[in-house]
Amino acid sequence: MFKNLPKFVFFTGKGGVGKTSLACATTLDLAAKGKKILLVSTDPASNVGQVFETEIGNKITEITTAPGVDAIEINPEEAAAEYRERIVGPMRGLLPEAALASIEEQLSGACTIEIAAFDEFTALLTDNDLVDRYDHVIFDTAPTGHTIRMLKLPGAWSGFLEDGKGDASCLGPLAGLEKQRDKYAAAVERLSDAGATRLVLVARPRHSALAEVARTSIELADIGIRNQHLAINGMMPQDTGGDPLASALLTRDLDALAAMTADVAALPRSVFALRSENLVGLAALKRFAAGADDTGQIIAIGGDDLADLPPLGLLVDDLEKAGKGLIMFMGKGGVGKTTMAAAVATELAARGHDVLLTTTDPAAHINETLAGDNAGLTVSRIDPAVETALYQAEVMASKGKDLDAQARAMLEEDLRSPCTEEIAVFQAFSRIIRESSRKFVIMDTAPTGHTLLLLDATGSYHKDVLRHQDTASSARLVTPMMRLQDPQQTKIVIVTLPETTPVLEAEHLQNDLRRAGIEPWAWIINSSIAAAETGQPLLRKRALSEHEQIAKVRDILAQRFAVVPIQAQEPVGTAKLLALCRYAR
C-alpha cells in the first residue's frame, strides 16, 4: 500500500475520511510481509477494536487473528484514572482525607484527561525498549483539531516547564510534569525526524477535506514535521456506466483534486478507489490491503422496507415550533455536521427567525459552507486562541491590578499554562448557551471526543456550582448543564452516515449523552445513496449495504430521524443548503 515506511507512521486528517481503515490495512499489509507491528489509536472515539473485531483497550494487546500485530487504544478516561492514582496513591495514609479530596478534585477535569492521554502518547514515542520490539509503530490519530493540539503539546509543555517558575492554574494535572521534561523534548525530536516519522494526510476527494489537509500540512510543517504523504481515499472510479449520479460524483471528485493548493498537490500521493463494502473485519481489510475486488456478501432488506424516508425538512418543521432554543449538532467528524447545521440554520432564517450559527469545532468550515451572507443569520466561532487571549486579559485586569510586579509576573505565568484554554473556551460556550433563551442558536460542535471533553467540563462546573450554593440560591440557579439536560431549551441532533462504523460510534455517543442526563432529540443520516437515484453497479451495491444501518437507526436508536440523499455537488451556498430542507408538502 505504502512504500519505504519509516519506524513511526501517523495517519491523520479530517474525521471520517478513513484514517482507521488505512491504518489497519497498512498494518495488515506490513504484517503479511513478516513485520512486527504496534498499532496505536490516540482517538478519543477510537474504533480500532471494532474494526479488528477484538477487545483492545488501554493496554498493548495481541491481535490473535493477525499474527505479528499488537494494538493499543489510548482511552482518555482510563489514562486519566491511572494518572490520578499515580499522583494521589503515594499520599494515601499520609495526608488528611480533606486534603486528598481537594487534590482529587483538582484532577477531575477535562484538562487532566488530555494530559494523561498525552503522557501515554509520548511514552510510546520515547520508550526505546518498547519500540525496539517492533519494526513499525502505526498511529491512528484523532481528528485533525485534536491531533494538531496533541502534536503541539510536547513543545507547549516543554516551553511552559522551561520558562515557568510560578504556580500553575492546573497545579493538580501538572503535578509531576517537571520530571518528564527530557521525555517531552525527546518526543519533539522524534516527531521532527524525517528519517523516523512520516505523516500520512488522509482526505476524501472533497473541497472541504482537501482545504483541511492544506491547513494541517502547514501547521505540521511549522512544528517541524515535513515528511508528509497525501492519501486520497474513496475516489469515484472512472467507469461510471453513464449513470448521471456516478458521473456527477466523479466530476465532483476530479474538480476537488484540481483545486488543491500547490503545496498539497506537490506531496507524494496515493489514491484509493471507493469500495462497495464496509471495511469492517479482517477479510474486508485484507482485500483492501491487497487491492482485491469486493466480494463481501451484502445484507439487503426488502425493497419497500425503506420507502418514504423522512426528509430533513420535516425535522425543521418540528424544530421551528418552539420559536427559539439551542440546537446542537453532534457526531463523528466528517459525517456532515457543519453542512447539516448550516442547512437548518439557513432554512430557519429563511422562515423569518433570528438565528445564530456558531461552532466549537477547531476545524470549523462554516463560512466555506455558507459561501456568503444570509439574511437573518449571524455566524460566529469559538476560537480557542481568541477566547484564551480575552480570558487572560480579563483576569489580569481584575485580579492583577492590585498586585505588585512579582505577583503580576507570577499571575501572567500562571495564565500561560495550556490548561487556561479549556477555561476560556468553556466560558464562551456558556455565554452562547444563554443566548438561546432569546433566539435560535445552532451549534456545530467539534468531533465527538472533543465535544465530550467539553461537556465533561460543563458537568464539572455544574457539580461545583451546586456544591457551593445554599438551598435558596440552588432553587433559582440554572447552570449550562441544566440547559443541556432540558429538552425544552436544548435539542441534540446526532449526525451520522449510513455505514456500520459511523452508526456504531453515534450509538456510543448517544449512550454517553444519556449517562450525562442528556437525551438526543433526533438523528440525521447524511449522504445516503439509498435515498438517491442511481443504477451504477458500485453505487447500487453501496446503497443496498446502507439498508441495515438505516433500519437500525429508525427502529432501535432514534426517537425521530431524517435521511439526506448524497449530493451530486457539494452543498455550498444558500440555494443548495435550502434545497436540502425543501420537500413536497
- Is 61 assigned a catalytic role? no
Nearest to 17 by CA among 282, 294, 270, 210: 210
Q: What is the pLDDT of residues 529-551, one digit of tens each?
A: 999 989 999 999 989 989 999 99
Say yes or no to pLDDT of 303 above 60.
no
Q: Does 202 fall in a domain?
A: yes
User: In the beta sheet, which residues pair with residue 444?
Assistant: 329, 359
pLDDT cut 70: percent of the chain above it:
79
Say yes or no to pLDDT of 417 above 60.
yes
Specify the number of domains making up the chain.
2
Same domain, residue pair 231 and 320:
no
Average the pLDDT over 401-406 and give the result: 83
Q: Which of 147, 500, 501, 574 is catalytic?
A: 501
The DSSP secondary-structure symbol of 93 reads T
Would the pTM count as exceeding 0.85? no
Nearest to 583 by CA among 307, 245, 316, 355: 316
What's the whole-number average pLDDT of the chain? 82
CATH of the domain at 69: 3.40.50.300
Average the pLDDT over 105-112 and give the result: 63
Q: Which of 13, 15, 16, 449 is catalytic?
A: 16
Q: Which of 14, 19, 337, 491 is catalytic?
A: 19
Q: So what's the pLDDT on residue 91?
A: 85
Q: Which of 20, 54, 358, 528 is catalytic?
A: 20
Q: How far apart are CA 529 and CA 498, in angstroms?
A: 9
Which of 290, 320, 349 is the last residue in one of the domains? Answer: 290
Task: Name every residue whose Cβ is closer than 8 Å to that of residue 551 and which is 6 or more positions away in sequence.
Answer: 301, 305, 306
Same domain, residue pair 398 and 259:
no
Q: Which of 13, 15, 18, 68 is catalytic?
A: 18
Q: Does 118 fall in a domain?
A: no
Q: So what's the pLDDT on residue 453?
A: 57
Q: Which of 12, 21, 217, 534 is catalytic?
A: 21
Q: How far apart are CA 576 and CA 581, in angstroms?
A: 9
Angle of helix 19-32 relative to helix 282-290, nearest 10 degrees, comes to 80
pLDDT band at 367 (very low <50, low <70, confident <90, very high): confident
Same domain, residue pair 262 and 377:
no
SS3 assignment, position 199: strand
E strands, 425-569, are: 440-444, 490-496, 522-528, 561-565
SS3 assignment, position 281: coil
pLDDT band at 176 (very low <50, low <70, confident <90, very high): low
Q: So what's the pLDDT on residue 165?
A: 42
pLDDT cut 90: percent of the chain above it:
37
Average the pLDDT over 250-257 and give the result: 95
Same domain, residue pair 281 and 317:
no
Q: Which of 12, 15, 43, 339 is catalytic?
A: 43
Q: So what's the pLDDT on residue 517?
A: 85
Average the pLDDT over 486-497 and give the result: 94
At position 135, the amino acid (one-letter code) is: D
Most confidently modeled range among 125-129, 266-270, 478-482: 266-270
What string of DSSP letters covers 342-388?
A: HHHHHHHHHTT--EEEEE--TT--HHHHH-S--TTEEEEE--HHHHH
Q: So what's the pLDDT on residue 469?
A: 61
Same domain, residue pair 260 and 371:
no
Give the number of residues written for the chain.
585
Average the pLDDT over 57-68 and give the result: 88
User: In the beta sheet, which residues pair with residue 272?
Assistant: 233
Most confidently modeled range among 58-72, 116-130, 212-226: 58-72
Q: Does 108 fall in a domain?
A: no
Same domain, residue pair 317 and 270:
no
Same domain, residue pair 457 and 564:
yes
Q: Does 544 fall in a domain?
A: yes
> Terminus-to-terminus CA distance in the chain, angstroms?
50
Q: Does 537 fall in a domain?
A: yes
Say yes or no to pLDDT of 64 above 80.
yes
Q: Does 127 fall in a domain?
A: no
Q: So what's the pLDDT on residue 84?
A: 79
Among 300-304, 317-321, 348-352, which stretch is predicted with the lowest mean pLDDT? 300-304
- Is 18 assigned a catalytic role? yes
Q: So what's the pLDDT on residue 302?
A: 40
Q: Does 126 fall in a domain?
A: no
Q: So what's the pLDDT on residue 495?
A: 96
- Is 20 assigned a catalytic role? yes
Say yes or no to pLDDT of 341 above 90.
yes
What domain range includes position 191?
8-74+136-167+176-290
Q: How far apart are CA 391 and CA 389, in angstroms?
A: 5
Say yes or no to pLDDT of 281 above 90.
no
DSSP H or E segment with residue 201: strand 197-203
Say yes or no to pLDDT of 299 above 60.
no
Of residues 457 and 191, more confidently modeled: 191
Same domain, residue pair 460 and 369:
yes
Same domain, residue pair 60 and 27:
yes
Same domain, residue pair 333 and 411:
yes
pLDDT band at 26 (very low <50, low <70, confident <90, very high): very high
pLDDT band at 149 (very low <50, low <70, confident <90, very high): low
pLDDT band at 235 (very low <50, low <70, confident <90, very high): very high
Same domain, residue pair 318 and 270:
no
Q: Does 576 fall in a domain?
A: yes
At position 24, the amino acid (one-letter code) is: C
Say yes or no to pLDDT of 268 above 50.
yes
Same domain, residue pair 519 and 485:
yes
- Is 19 assigned a catalytic role? yes
pLDDT band at 151 (very low <50, low <70, confident <90, very high): low
Say yes or no to pLDDT of 100 above 50.
yes
Q: What is the pLDDT of residues 433-483, one digit of tens each?
A: 889 989 999 998 865 555 555 666 666 666 666 666 666 555 566 777 788
